[in-house]
C-alpha cells in the first residue's frame, strides 16, 4: 500500500490487491467522501434553482386569487357567489372581473390544483381560519407584495372551499346536481395523483447504484495506478491486476483501449475513469450508462 496525492476526485491510498489490509476501509472512506460531494453539489444546484425568479407562477397565482375573491367576496368560509350557467366564463388570463358560473369556477379550481399540486390543498385549519377571519384585510393587501407561500395559502383556502361546496352538493340536492358535484370532486382530486402510464417501475435503488459506481471508481483508480507502476508486459500486468482486484481482464482491456491480444485498438486512449465506472455499474445492474447517471442524480 502507498500513500499518494491525487486529484480531489481520486483516492489518496493505493494498494496491490483488494486483500491488502486497509483496502476495504479506504474504499468505504472514498465512497463516503464522494457521496458527501454528491450531496454538496446537489444542494448547491438546488439552492440556485430555488433562488430563481418564479415570476410566471406568482403572476398565475395572483390572477387566480383575484378571480377567487370575486367568487368569495365575504371570505372562503361562505358558499361561492355564482352567476347562472348562462353567464360568461373567465378567459384564460382570469382578468375578467365578472362572477363565475359554477362550471367556470370548477375549471379555475382544477387549474389551480394542476399547477400547484398539493401546495394548492395543503392548508392547516389554523392557517385557513386566519385567512377566513382576515378576509377583509386580504382584500386590500397588494398581492404583488405577498411572498409566494402566502399566495399559495389563499389559493389553498379557495380550493378547500370549493371542495366543501361540492361535498355539500353531493350530499343533498337533485340527483343530477349530486352526480355533477361528485364528478367534479373526483376530477380535482385525481389531478393530485401522478400519471405513471407508460413509465417503467424503478427496480433498482438509486442509492445502491450510486454506491456501486463509487466503489467501481475506487477500483478503477487502483487499476490505473497499478498499470502505471507494475513491471512486466501488458499481458502480465493485466492478468495480475485482474486477479488482485477481482475485475475481468476484458474489462481492463476495454478500459485502456486494447484488443484481445493486448494490442492498442482505440487510438483515442483509455476511457475516462468516470465513464468506465458507469459502464461497469450498468452491466452489474443490467441498465444503461445513461440510466446509471440518471439514478445517481435521483439519489
Does 66 map to a domain? yes
Q: In whole angstroms, what is the distance from residue 297 CA to residue 113 CA?
A: 28
Lowest-pLDDT choice from 75-79, 93-97, 211-215: 93-97
Reported as a pLDDT band with limits 50, 70 and 90, residue 97 is very low
- DSSP H or E segment with residue 295: helix 289-298
Identify the pLDDT of residue 143: 76
Reported as a pLDDT band with limits 50, 70 and 90, residue 272 is very high
Lowest-pLDDT choice from 47-61, 62-76, 140-154: 47-61
Q: Is the pLDDT of residue 94 over 50?
A: no
Range 259-270 average pLDDT = 87
In this structure, the answer to whether residues 216 and 182 fall within a common structural domain is: no
In this structure, the answer to whether residues 214 and 144 fall within a common structural domain is: no
User: Domain end: 158, 190, 222, which one?
Assistant: 190
Q: Is the pLDDT of residue 125 over 50?
A: no
Does 248 map to a domain? yes
Q: In whole angstroms, what is the distance from residue 58 CA to residue 53 CA?
A: 9
In this structure, the answer to whether residues 185 and 250 fall within a common structural domain is: no
Identify the pLDDT of residue 8: 52
User: Domain end: 124, 156, 190, which one?
Assistant: 190
Reported as a pLDDT band with limits 50, 70 and 90, residue 221 is very high
Q: In whole angstroms, what is the distance from residue 255 CA to residue 252 CA?
A: 5
In this structure, the answer to whether residues 184 and 63 fall within a common structural domain is: yes
User: Domain end: 190, 223, 249, which one?
Assistant: 190
Reported as a pLDDT band with limits 50, 70 and 90, residue 195 is low
Identify the pLDDT of residue 16: 92
For 32-100, the DSSP string reads: HHHHHHHHHHHHHHHHHHHHS--HHHHHHHHHHHHHHHHH-TT-TTSPP--B-TTSPPP-TT----S--
Which residue range(s) make up the domain with 294?
205-299
Q: Is the pLDDT of residue 256 over 90?
A: yes
In this structure, the answer to whether residues 155 and 211 fall within a common structural domain is: no
In this structure, the answer to whether residues 180 and 79 fall within a common structural domain is: yes
Does 159 map to a domain? yes
In this structure, the answer to whether residues 61 and 93 fall within a common structural domain is: yes
Identify the pLDDT of residue 58: 80
In this structure, the answer to whether residues 184 and 209 fall within a common structural domain is: no
Number of domains making up the chain: 2
Reported as a pLDDT band with limits 50, 70 and 90, residue 191 is confident
| Per-chain mean pLDDT for the chain | 78
DSSP assignment letter at 173:
S
Identify the pLDDT of residue 86: 46
Does 2 map to a domain? no
Q: Is the pLDDT of residue 214 over 90?
A: yes
Q: In whole angstroms, what is the distance from residue 120 CA to residue 184 CA?
A: 16
Does 37 map to a domain? no
Identify the pLDDT of residue 95: 46
Q: In whole angstroms, what is the distance from residue 90 CA to residue 105 CA?
A: 8
pTM over 0.85: no
Identify the pLDDT of residue 50: 54
In this structure, the answer to whether residues 106 and 215 fall within a common structural domain is: no
Q: In whole angstroms, what is the distance from residue 67 CA to residue 111 CA?
A: 12
User: The C-alpha cell of 117 is what?
Assistant: 399540486
46-60, 134-148, 158-172, range with greatest mean pLDDT: 158-172
In this structure, the answer to whether residues 68 and 102 fall within a common structural domain is: yes
Reported as a pLDDT band with limits 50, 70 and 90, residue 175 is confident
Does 254 map to a domain? yes
Does 198 map to a domain? no
Q: In whole angstroms, what is the distance from residue 138 CA to residue 17 CA?
A: 70
Lowest-pLDDT choice from 177-181, 190-194, 256-260, 295-299: 190-194
In this structure, the answer to whether residues 85 and 181 fall within a common structural domain is: yes
In this structure, the answer to whether residues 256 and 284 fall within a common structural domain is: yes
DSSP assignment letter at 135:
H
More confident residue, 224 or 78: 224
Amino acid at each position: 500500500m502507498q500513500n499518494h496525492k491525487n486529484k480531489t476526485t481520486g483516492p489518496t491510498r493505493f494498494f496491490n490487491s483488494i486483500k491488502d489490509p486497509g483496502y476495504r476501509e479506504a474504499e468505504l472512506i472514498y465512497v463516503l467522501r464522494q457521496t458527501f460531494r454528491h450531496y454538496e453539489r446537489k444542494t448547491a444546484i438546488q439552492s440556485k434553482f430555488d433562488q430563481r425568479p418564479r415570476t410566471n407562477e406568482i403572476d398565475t397565482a395572483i390572477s387566480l386569487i383575484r378571480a377567487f375573491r370575486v367568487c368569495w367576496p365575504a371570505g372562503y368560509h361562505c358558499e361561492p357567489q355564482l352567476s347562472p350557467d348562462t353567464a360568461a366564463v373567465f378567459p384564460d388570463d382570469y382578468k375578467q372581473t365578472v362572477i363565475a358560473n359554477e362550471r367556470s369556477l370548477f375549471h379555475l379550481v382544477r387549474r389551480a390544483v394542476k399547477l400547484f399540486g398539493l401546495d394548492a390543498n395543503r392548508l392547516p385549519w389554523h392557517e385557513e381560519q386566519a385567512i377566513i377571519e382576515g378576509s377583509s384585510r386580504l382584500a386590500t393587501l397588494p398581492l404583488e407584495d405577498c411572498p409566494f407561500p402566502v399566495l399559495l395559502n389563499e389559493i389553498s383556502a379557495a380550493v378547500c372551499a370549493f371542495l366543501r361546496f361540492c361535498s355539500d352538493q353531493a350530499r343533498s340536492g337533485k340527483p343530477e346536481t349530486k352526480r355533477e358535484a361528485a364528478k367534479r370532486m373526483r376530477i380535482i382530486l385525481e389531478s393530485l395523483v401522478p400519471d405513471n402510464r407508460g413509465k417503467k417501475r424503478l427496480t433498482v435503488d438509486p442509492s445502491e447504484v450510486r454506491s456501486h459506481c463509487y466503489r467501481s471508481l475506487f477500483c478503477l483508480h487502483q487499476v490505473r495506478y497499478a498499470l502505471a507502476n507494475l513491471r512486466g508486459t501488458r499481458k502480465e500486468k493485466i492478468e495480475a491486476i485482474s486477479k488482485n482486484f477481482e475485475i475481468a481482464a476484458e474489462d481492463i482491456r476495454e478500459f485502456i483501449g486494447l484488443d484481445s491480444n493486448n494490442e492498442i485498438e482505440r487510438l483515442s486512449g483509455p476511457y475516462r475513469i468516470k465513464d468506465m465506472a458507469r459502464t461497469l455499474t450498468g452491466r452489474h445492474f443490467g441498465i444503461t450508462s445513461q440510466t446509471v447517471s440518471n439514478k445517481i442524480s435521483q439519489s
